[in-house]
Amino acid sequence: MITKTFDNSDEWITARKSAITGSKLGKMFSKRDQSYLTEFYQLIAERVALPPTEESAMDRGHRLEDEAMTRFEEETGHKVDKSLIMWVREDNEHIAISPDGVIDKENAVEVKCLSTAKHIEAWITKKVPSEYDLQAVQYFIVNDDLQTLYFVMYDPRCPVDMFYFEIEREKLEDRIALYRDLEEKALRDVEAWEGQITF
C-alpha cells in the first residue's frame, strides 16, 4: 500500500476523480449481475472529457439543442424544422409529445445533451438511456405516421461529441400498442377521480 499526502483539498479531490474509491465501489457495479453502472462511465468521462461546469443540466440542454440539431443536419443532410410545436393524437388530445425537431410526418428528432457519463454510456452500450426509452415510444404513440425517430446525443465536452440512434416503428409495435392502451386507461382513471373530487 502507498500512502499519498496532499497539501490541500483540491489536490485530494482531483486525485479521487480518476480512481475507484470506497464511496464509488457500490455505484460501479450492479449487485444483481455485476454489470457496469453510471459511476463506471463517470470514470471514463473524468479521463477523456472536459470537466462539467456549474450550469444546470436543463439550461445546458436548452443552450446546446440548436447546436446539436445543426450538427445532425450537417451529418445527415436532413433539413429539420425546429419550431416550438406539440403533436397531439387526433382521437385524444391528452396524449401528446413535443418534438425537438421534425423532418417530415414520418421522421422526427429528439435531442439529449446529458452528463458526459450518460453520453459515454449510451455510446458504449449502443442504447438509448433507459430513462428516455418511453419518451421515444411516446413519439410513435402520438404520431401514427411516424416511421423513424432520430435520437441524438450531443456533448461537446466529449471527444465523441455527437451520435444518434435510429429508432424504427416496426421494432416497437407491441410496446406502442401496450403503452397506448395503458395511457388511455390512465386518462379514464384520471377523469373518474376528477369527477369524484370536483363533483
pTM: 0.81
Residue 40 lies in a domain: no
Say which residue, 46 or 121, is predicted with more confidence: 121
Q: Does any domain span residue 8?
A: no
Is the residue at 31 inside a domain?
no
Q: What is the DSSP letter of 50?
A: P
Residue 16 has pLDDT above 90, yes or no: no
Q: Where are the alpha helices (DSSP H) in the chain?
A: 9-17, 22-28, 38-48, 57-76, 116-125, 133-142, 173-198
* 154-170 core/surface letters (b: 16 or more CB in 10 A; e: else): bbebbeebbbbbebebe
The answer as to whether 137 is a domain residue is yes
In a domain, 154, yes or no: yes
41 assigned to some structural domain: no
CATH number, domain with residue 121: 3.90.320.10
Query: In this structure, is residue 43 part of a structural domain?
Result: no
Q: How confident is the model at residue 176 (pLDDT cuts 50, 70, 90)?
A: very high
**Statement: residue 142 has pLDDT above 70:** yes
Whether 12 is covered by a domain: the verdict is no
Percent of the chain clearing pLDDT 90 (strictly above): 60
Residue with cell 415510444: 137
Number of domains in the chain: 1
pLDDT of 143 above 90: yes
**Domain with 89 in it:** 55-198
What is the rounded CA–CA span in Å between residue 148 and residue 48?
Answer: 32
Could you give the 3-state DSSP secondary structure of residue 27? Answer: helix
Is residue 107 within 8 Å of 143, Cβ to Cβ? no
Q: Output the pLDDT for position 3.
A: 64
